Amino acid sequence: MKLCSLNPSPFVFLPLSRSRIQKFACLACLGCATVACSLNALAVQAVTTVCPRPLPGSLVEEPADLRSVNGVLETTLSVQNSVRPDGSVRYCYTDDAGHQSPNLRVHPGDLIVLHLNNELTEPNLGVAATTPIHPHIHPMNGHACSSGAMTAISTNLHFHGLTIPPVCHQDEVLTTSVQPGDPPFEYRFTIPQDEPPGLYWYHPHIHGFAKQQLLGGASGALIVEGIERSEPSLGGLPERVFIIRDQDLMDPAAQPAKSEPVIPKFLVDRDGDAANTGTGFGKPAKDLSINFVPVPYPAYPPAIIKLRAGERQLWRVLNASAITYLNLQMLILNAPQPLGLVAIDGVPMHHIDTQSAGADWQTHLGVPPGSRVEFIVTAPSEGQSGLLVTRSVDTGPGGENDPNRMLATIEVPRDAPQPHSSLQPALRPTPSAEKAWLGDVQPVRTRRLYFSEKLDDPNDPTSAVEFYLTVDGQEPKMFEMTSDVPNIVTEQGTVEDWIIENRSRELHDFHIHQLHFLLLEYQGRSLQENFLRDTVNVPYYDGHSLAYPSVRLRMDFRDPKTIGTFLYHCHILEHEDKGMMGTIRVVSPSAKTDQNVARSCENNTAESRCSNLTARQ
């Protein structure tokens, strides 16, 4: 038997999907008289081509841009993974051209048609990857819209921040689950005409495995164009998209850098992550990367960003981390530089009132996991350089360690390339909102929710074993994906205030699907924000104050696209995976009327209305 010996070089650097690798392998083997060609062996040989990543200290490249054409963006994304020699698992999305995590660029009113291929293979995660997380009640029934299978090789997509319906093929993640070998799964939805222009993102939302998949890199940006219409000063500016992700430490056994002060104690939580030292130093819970360029502990060799000297740019920054908070700052000659904040969580600061447009200048920007910030930067002058850093974040006695560290050096060579994309001139302002400003609408009710944790050792805040997000009056319990009973039911067309407390000793990060909310109060202090968010921090409890820390949010259920059942949760994904999540069901006003009529029918009243109800049912 003659063995087909393939030159591996075509498979070392090209980011090819497994299906394309197999096609190339078979073509290469056609010249063999008698062939014993193992595609499995070839896949092992080509493992470096699956989710390839730059080396530390590399130039930060821009993600590829996929743009809508004639009002339609249609593309195919394949989700893939590979196990590294250290046992960590990389995940990535690639398009047919081999681009990883491309930017999806659309306009309000555009149609997105996205074909999702599941090419995942079973990684060695120490769990039964082929078994659903709740095998006794989550059978894989072969129907992607209703399988509910939550495994390490299942996938789906959540379009974080977009106001699109929580239904299958749009943005439903409670039961939608695509398995390896399934035909391409189609997502098809329209960007609402009134969707605020800004930075959104896409990622998998497989309960129990969200942390692992996002740590591996499964995330990408989605940009709704037109921010310059809300902020005219942005017209014509070059723009850059930076996705900051976290990942398991590349060198967990390394000693801290000698430049750091000695930390008196080193603790780890039940997940093995470094616990908050409260000093701003010490081993981090996770390494960070910027557009996949890793910045590993302990030396934090920075990535490289190249700009033209003195140039102003719009930076769109997504914190796609699974657990890591960011506190971004740009330094030149060790001095913090002004950052012109123009949007948070996809919503321009002056989206409602363009007459008062103007950047909000800050020297640092806090960005919790899942959140986004868009801001103006000015490059260093010729002969200077800058530094992009994240300052430490105090996550509480029970939180992970997010210390000070470098992310990237900012260089200004004369041959610095122009960014791929620039904003259009601001010719037309954003149309006035048809709905009343959320802050002017009276809520129909106020609800109270709270974060809490069950500690294995009540004296050790790092020993949490269960995580809860509870509606006041309900029993604290871990979220159960299979329950058909929502935690909250409300009516479309209404507005509510939610007061969310944190009764735990670590920082939590509240997020709700399908809508944005208005932050009214933070720690009891009234705010006058004129923009909306979809993610917000809730400070940790200090253990002795008479009141728990809280935020007050105005929740907007006026849009008909919010009708359905969807999630709210902590966006620290190990907390979400371990139960810190709940469901809300938004019903149409007609559904509420039907419920009232049904109760009347049980009492033999309103006979004609009962007949109409029966006909509708």
* Pair 400, 275: CB distance under 8 Å: yes
Least Cα distance to 377 among 237, 245, 230, 244 occurs for: 237
Q: Residue 182: what pLDDT?
A: 93
Neighbours of 7 (CB within 10 A): 8
* Pair 509, 537: CB distance under 8 Å: yes
> Is 176's pLDDT higher than 90?
yes
Which residues make beta-bridge pairs with 288? 246, 295
> Is 599's pLDDT higher than 70?
no
Instruction: Read off the pLDDT of residues 493-522 as tens digits, 9 standing for 90 and up.
Output: 999 999 999 999 999 999 999 999 999 999
Structural domains of the chain sorted by starting position, each given as residue range(s) with its CATH number in brackets: 9-49 (no CATH), 65-230 (2.60.40.420), 232-251+273-422 (2.60.40.420), 438-589 (2.60.40.420)
- Provide the 3-class DSSP secondary structure of residue 284: coil
Q: Residue 112: what pLDDT?
A: 98
> Is 297's pLDDT higher than 70?
yes
Rounded to 5 degrees, what angle do the CA atoms 132, 135, 136 make? 160
Sheet order of strands, 198-203 included: 65-67, 103-106, 220-224, 198-203, 158-160
Instruction: Read off the pLDDT of residues 104-139 as tens digits, 9 standing for 90 and up.
Output: 999 999 999 999 999 999 876 544 344 444 433 334
Q: How confident is the model at residue 37 (pLDDT cuts 50, 70, 90)?
A: very low
Residue type, 423: L
Instruction: Read off the pLDDT of residues 204-257 as tens digits, 9 standing for 90 and up.
Output: 999 999 999 999 999 999 999 999 998 988 999 999 999 999 999 999 999 888
- Looking up tokens 């990060």, which residue turns up? 509
What percentage of the chain has pLDDT greater than the value 90?
Answer: 73
Q: Which residue has the higher pLDDT, 564 or 143?
A: 564
Whole-angstrom distance, CA of residue 342 vs CA of residue 562: 26
Least Cα distance to 220 among 312, 129, 291 occurs for: 291
Q: How confident is the model at residue 353 (pLDDT cuts 50, 70, 90)?
A: low
Rg for the chain, CA atoms, rounded? 25
Mean pLDDT of all residues in the chain? 86
User: What is the three-state SS of 290-330?
Assistant: ECCEEECCCCCCCEEEECCCCCEEEEEEEECCCCCCEEEEE
Q: Residue 194: what pLDDT?
A: 93
- Residue 189 main-chain phi, psi, to 5 deg: -155, 165
- Looking up tokens 């620039």, which residue turns up? 422
Q: How confident is the model at residue 85 (pLDDT cuts 50, 70, 90)?
A: confident
Rounded to 5 degrees, what angle do the CA atoms 265, 266, 270 make? 135
Q: How confident is the model at residue 259 (pLDDT cuts 50, 70, 90)?
A: confident
What's the sign of the alpha-carbon dihedral 348, 353, 359, 363?
negative
pTM of the model: 0.87
